Amino acid sequence: MMLGEGLAKGFVETARNFFGSYLSKDRLTTVQFPEERLPQIEATRDFPFLVYDGDDWQAGMRCVGCQICEKECPPKCIYIEKSKDKKPDAVGKQQFYPAVFNIDISVCMSCQICVEVCPFEAIKMDTEFELSTDDRFGGLLWNKARLSKSNEHYRRIHPTDAAASDALLAEEKAKAEAKAKPAAEAMAGSVSSGAVQAGSGASSTR
């Protein structure tokens, strides 16, 4: 209507912002960073980590060195060397393990493709981002030891995903046991009952 009306509305809005920033928290949404942090949502992802079950990170590591994530990674930041020998994994089966597993997190772009393609639920995304270092020749090249974190940690940072992952692994384990039981019973039928008792007892406590 008159020149200056829009101006007046604008002035009122900024004045409301100015005085409101002292009175209410949603007018002043800044967080004083090093002392306090904004809460992260559950689906936050920053850099990958390798999951291990149990207490020993080397024995319980789920990764079998299949190198699928290395091949699928778009910037090729994963470097894997498979081991020569095998070790028993979480379900008892003998699997390879990675002798060398390096991720260069200065190259990693957090696309999560390695997580999506891993068939063993072995690599997941972490939520830690305060990772600056002053070692410019290797500080951002992480090896197997640095990358391994326990399943408890995974349950803590991504509860729903960890629950889904655990359910999947439990299901596979049940399927493996269901397959193993008839095979064990078939074997028991052909061998003496004493060996079958020991064999089935051993397989049921697994």
Partner 1 sequence: MGESADQFFVNLLHRLVSHVPAGLGGVVSALASVVAILAVFASLFAITTVLERKGLGRIQNRYGPNRVGPFGLLQPLADGIKSLTKEDVVPHAADMAVHFLAPLLLVIAAFSLYAVLPVGRNMVLANLDAGVLFFFAVSSVMEIAIFMAGWSSRNKYSLLGAMRAIAQMISYEVPLILASVTVVMAAGSLSTVSIVEKQAGYSGILPHWFVFTPWGFAGFVLFMIAAVAESNRSPFDLPEGESEIVAGYYTEYSGFKFALFFLGEYIGLFAISGLGITLFLGGWAAPLSFLTWIPSYVWFFAKLLALIAFFIWVRGTLPRLRMDQLMNFAWKFMLPMALLNLVTTGVWRFLEHGALRWFVCSLLVVIPYVLLSRSLKRGWRLEKRVYRFAE
Interacting residue ranges for partner 1, rule: CB under 8 A: 2-4, 7, 10-11, 13-15, 17-18, 21-22, 27-30, 32
SS3 helix, strand, coil % of the chain, rounded to 5? 40, 15, 45
Give the nearer residue to partner 1 in terms of CB position, either 1 or 186. 1
Parallel, antiparallel or unpaired: strands 48-52 and 148-150: parallel
Residue 21 vs 127, nearer CB to partner 1: 21
Find the shortest distance in angstroms from Cβ 2 to partner 1.
6
29: which DSSP letter? -
Let me know: does 164 contact 84? Beta carbons within 8 Å. Answer: no
C-beta closer to partner 1: residue 37 or 87: 37
Q: Return the number of the residue (28 or 145) whose C-beta is nearest partner 1.
A: 28
* Cα 175 from Cα 126, distance rounded (Å): 29
CB 110 → partner 1: shortest distance, Å? 27
As given in the structure block, the two tokens for residue 121 are 């639920």
- Kindly state the smallest distance separating residue 6's Cβ from partner 1, in Å: 10
SS3 141: strand
d(CA 23, CA 75): 48
We find the least distance from the C-beta atom of residue 13 to partner 1, in angstroms, to be 8
